[in-house]
Amino acid sequence: MLQATEKEYLDPTITEDTTTPSSDNTKLKKDWSSVRDIRQETNTFGTRLLENKDDVWHHNAWDHVEWNEEQEKAAKQKVSLQSNNPMKLEDRQIFLKNPSEYWNTFYKHNENKFFKDRQWLKIEFPELHHTTNSESGNQKIFEIGCGAGNTMFPLLSINKNPNLFIYACDFAENAVQNNKEYDLKHCKAFVWDLTNKGIPMEHIEPNSLDIVVLIFVMSALCPNDWVQAVDNVYNMLKPGGLVLFRDYGRYDMVQLRFKEGRMLSDNFYVRGDGTRVYFFTSGWWIIYVYVLMFN
Ligand SMILES: C[S@@+](CC[C@H](N)C(=O)[O-])C[C@H]1O[C@@H](n2cnc3c(N)ncnc32)[C@H](O)[C@@H]1O
């Protein structure tokens, strides 16, 4: 049976470089990423097909897995159990107010050692890597909710573009302070809350960004703040600019493992350390962009 480590429970993305139990309960040292089998040079995203049931423990996720009715029913039952036993009303306010405090404490304890460098970025977001080519010209990127810089620093380390500039922000001061030494010619990190009313004009002009990166960040916001957050992103992007977004999906094992008494509102939970997480369906982003454009 798969046992989640505490870290895996908090964020499945960190399983990339940790060990995972095998079917015979012995710990295997992982040599694959969560989205790509790095043992096979030619392997690309979308090719991890579970053809032999005995291989089930060889990856922590498989591509194109179709749930059967029984599995879907079990997942829905679990979530309905959670929603019938939500967090007590009087406790909810604690986690809705000052969410940055919990992330600040998180980074105080974990510094920059928790999240791993995002090795899958190149496969999932080739547009991002393209900006580092010497001939890519002026490129302005803004990583929001950058944490300890696990996206920004790997990008800067391969950068060959003299005209690339990366802005990075997080609302947890300790995260930004944890960021390593960086070259001010190519990047600037600062504290900013994505749900603020208005963009950080002291750093970023309206309609000036080529790319906004949001990796496991929107899930940390209260659904009531989504419209403001999307509005801010929209106002900073150039016409035709890109939003590169990755986040938790509905019925992810992380969601199904939540115990009763942790749900704040539908599909929105509080972890043991007080940080919050929402589980999206794929139509979410489209709906919010639509709301922005037609309101
Ligand atoms: C799950 S972590 C992901 C960190 C980083 N993007 C990565 O992939 O390693 C979520 C991050 O979002 C930040 N965050 C949450 N809400 C935010 C907000 N309203 N404004 C800015 N940053 C926020 C947290 O402080 C935390 O660093």
Task: Specify the pLDDT at position 27.
Answer: 41
Is any atom of ligand 1 closer than 6 Å to the C-beta of 248?
no
Instruction: Report the pLDDT averaged over residues 195-200.
Output: 97
Nearest CA to ligand 1 atom 15: 220
- State which ligand 1 atom lies nearest to the alpha carbon of 229: 19
pLDDT at residue 42 greater than cutoff 60: no
Could you give the CA distance from residue 80 to residue 182 in angstroms, rounded to a whole number? 46
Neighbours of 157 (CB within 10 A): 9
Task: Specify the pLDDT at position 182.
Answer: 72
Instruction: Enumerate the β-bridge partners of residue 140.
Output: 165
Comparing 112 with 258, the larger pLDDT belongs to 258
Instruction: Report the pLDDT averaged over residues 64-90.
Output: 93
Does residue 238 contact residue 208 with C-beta atoms inside 8 Å? yes
pLDDT at residue 7 greater than cutoff 60: no
Q: Output the CA 138–ligand 1 centroid distance in Å.
A: 26
Prediction pTM value: 0.81
Nearest CA to ligand 1 atom 13: 145
Residues of the chain with CATH 3.40.50.150: 99-247
Instruction: Report the pLDDT averaged over residues 254-275.
Output: 96
- CA angle, 262 then 99 then 266, to 5°: 35
Nearest CA to ligand 1 atom 24: 145
Q: How confident is the model at residue 112 (pLDDT cuts 50, 70, 90)?
A: low
Look at the domain 99-247 and name its fold: Rossmann fold (3.40.50)
| Region of poorest pLDDT, from 49-58, 72-81, 143-152, 207-216 | 49-58
Q: Output the CA 100–ligand 1 centroid distance in Å.
A: 9
Dihedral of the alpha carbons of 239, 244, 250, 254, in degrees to the nearest 10: -150
Letter for the amino acid at 28?
Answer: L
Q: Output the CA 194–ligand 1 centroid distance in Å.
A: 9
Task: Specify the pLDDT at position 12.
Answer: 36
Task: Specify the pLDDT at position 191.
Answer: 96
Is any atom of ligand 1 closer than 6 Å to the C-beta of 194?
yes
Is any atom of ligand 1 closer than 6 Å to the C-beta of 175?
yes
* Best of 170, 204, 252 for a ligand 1 pocket test (most atoms within 8 Å of beta carbon): 170
pLDDT at residue 190 greater than cutoff 80: yes
Q: pLDDT tens across 131-140, in order?
A: 999 999 999 9
